[in-house]
Amino acid sequence: MANYSTNEFKAGLKIMQDGEPCAIVENEMVKPGKGQAFNRVKIRKLISGKVVEKTFKSGDSVEGADVIDVDLAYLYNDGEFWHFMNNDTFEQIAADEKAVGDATKWLVEQDVCTLTLWNGNPIAVTPPNFVELEITETDPGLKGDTAGTGGKPATLITGAVVRVPLFVQIGEVIKVDTRTGEYVSRVQK
Amino acid sequence: MQRSLNWQPSATLETLKARAALLASTRAFFAVRNVLEVDTPLLAQCGVTDPHLENLQTEFLQTTYYLQTSPEYAMKRLLAAGSGCIYQLSKVFRADEQSPRHNPEFTMLEWYRVGYSMQELIAEVGALLQATVNAPPLQQMTYQQLFMARLGIDPLAPNALAQLQTELAQRPELRDWASAESDLDTLLEGAMALVIEPQLQPEVPLVVTHYPASQAALAQLDPSDQRVALRFEVFYGGLELANGYQELTDAELQAQRFATDNARRAQLGKAQRTGDARLLAALQQGMPACSGVALGFDRLAMLVCRKHYISEVLPFAIDRA
């Protein structure tokens, strides 16, 4: 993998740090008038998800990370692996529990997810921003309540728990924003 | 039509009016003090030897010309020619410098006071800040005092290198480069820019004096303590605002500084820069004892207009230039 000099740093660049592939979130040059310049960089560790700050002497190089994002459709879970398929080439990739992480509660068959591959292996799965899931469990709501008065918890078919308005019932399908985990609307079946 | 082109100014028109007023009040400040305004060339056949400054360059009649990083050399030649006290509001250029606080082309306010000591010039910087941005009185401490106060490390002690390495390597964000760094000045500059500066109180203008001799740049060494130079910097509002010297006037010492700079540049893998022979010739003829300071005018405008990005005080920052 190529090395990158600090002057090539920009948000989104993938580099190796502490033996882990990372994405640069923010890069800022710190340059004293007469002194050595530094790059103060925020990086997101792609496996642990941790965001950390690092500094580099400007002009230094760091190893790049062979990290790419691919869009793949979710197929099924076999108990150990989650299987995804490229809808164009039909090539399949299996991601383990560590890579899927919290995304597991938003996985809907046929939905296209973004898989982050490091050296060809999946290290992270990002579900679509919005998914539609059926409610399997929630308290019966009060009739006539249409405004959000705090709502109630509802368990979805994948096990995710979302706060929903009181009028939403078991068996209904709702749209959820996976980035915030918030209820968006009911979906007409 | 190209809708996406950023043709509009990066500063608001209101800010540009405040900037114009600041230019006017700066000129008024020097007019009443009988300091002569000059405008020296920005294109010169010599660049700067400073290890951490890079000139942009261009060509004229098959000769390389360097866009000046500061008008210092030319202004010193005017001083040697008997100009008396002078100031300049000049565009200057620095390659590779872009950040929320840096634009590769920016405006420098630089002035020289014949017969002034470093301390007298510091007082005048304080007066300028008071007159233009209504700053409170300057606080002052030495570089050594600042490091002792903030890190408990004496930058002039023989064990400063090991102490700084240990101190900086304790910080996860600095550890990777600091633990492997064997150059004292790089560690000092890193500690200053990345640890100490962010801790300074933004509302207090702070003057730091007596930089280590290895960071003298073009300042005289302190006759009473050769470990330090008569160099000062001003920090205010979270910005490095100004850098000044009781100026080196000795041609031979100046030639040595050029050589030291180039040796350091070689260590850093940077191109050699010819020391400006015209400056040396002027110093040989005799430059009067003086002190001089360079102040980032755009940063002054950022303070006046309470802006956090230099682009917000420039008509068109580099990404729209």
In the predicted structure, residue A90 carries a pLDDT above the cut 60: yes
Residues A5-62 have pLDDT tens digits of 999 999 999 999 999 999 999 999 999 999 999 999 999 999 888 999 999 999 999 9
Q: With an 8 Å Cβ cutoff, are B173 and A32 in contact?
A: no
pLDDT at residue A189, rounded to an integer: 66
B50 contacts A34? CB cut-off 8 A = yes
Evaluate if residue A148 carries a pLDDT over 60: no
Tell whether the model's pLDDT for residue B47 goes beyond 80.
Answer: yes
CB B258 within 8 A of CB B275: yes
- Beta-strand relationship, B231-236 and A3-5: unpaired
| pLDDT for B155 | 98
Q: Which residues pair with A124 in a beta bridge?
A: A116
B314 pLDDT above the threshold of 90: yes
Q: Answer whether A67-126 and A130-186 agree in fold.
A: yes
B78, B204 Cβ separation under 8 angstroms: no
Task: Give every CB contact of residue B20 below 8 A, 6+ residues apart in sequence.
Answer: none
Q: Does CATH number 3.40.50.620 belong to domain A67-126?
A: no
Mean pLDDT, residues A136-143 taken together: 80
Q: Is the pLDDT of residue B58 over 70?
A: yes
Is there a contact between B217 and A55 if contact means CB atoms under 8 Å apart? no
Q: What is the DSSP string of A25-77?
A: EEEEEE--SSS--EEEEEEEETTT--EEEEEEETT-EEEB--EEEEEEEEEEE
User: How far B64 CA sits from the closest chain A CA (Å)?
Assistant: 24
**Four-way CATH pick for A3-63: 1.20.810.10, 2.30.30.30, 2.120.10.30, 3.40.50.2300:** 2.30.30.30
User: What are the φ and ψ backbone dihedral angles of B27, each rounded to 5 degrees?
Assistant: -65, -40
Q: Do residues B260 and B267 touch, judged by C-beta distance below 8 A?
A: no
Which residue type sits at A72?
Answer: L
* Cβ contacts of A28 on chain B, cutoff 8 Å: 99-100
Which of A35, A52, A60 has its CB closest to that of B52?
A35
Determine contact: A121 vs chain B, CB below 8 A.
no
Residue-wise pLDDT tens digits, A166-178? 889 999 999 999 9
Domain boundaries, chain A: 3-63, 67-126, 130-186
What is the CATH class of A130-186? mainly beta
pLDDT at A142 > cutoff 80: no
Measured at the CA of B54, the angle between CA B27 and CA B10, to 5 degrees, comes to 55
What ipTM describes this predicted complex? 0.92
Question: Taking an 8 Å Cβ-Cβ cutoff, which residues of chain B contact chain A?
Answer: 50, 52-53, 96-100, 102, 172-174, 176-177, 181, 185-186, 189-190, 192-194, 215, 217, 233, 240, 243, 268-269, 294, 296
Instruction: List the structure tokens of A76.
Output: 């099924």
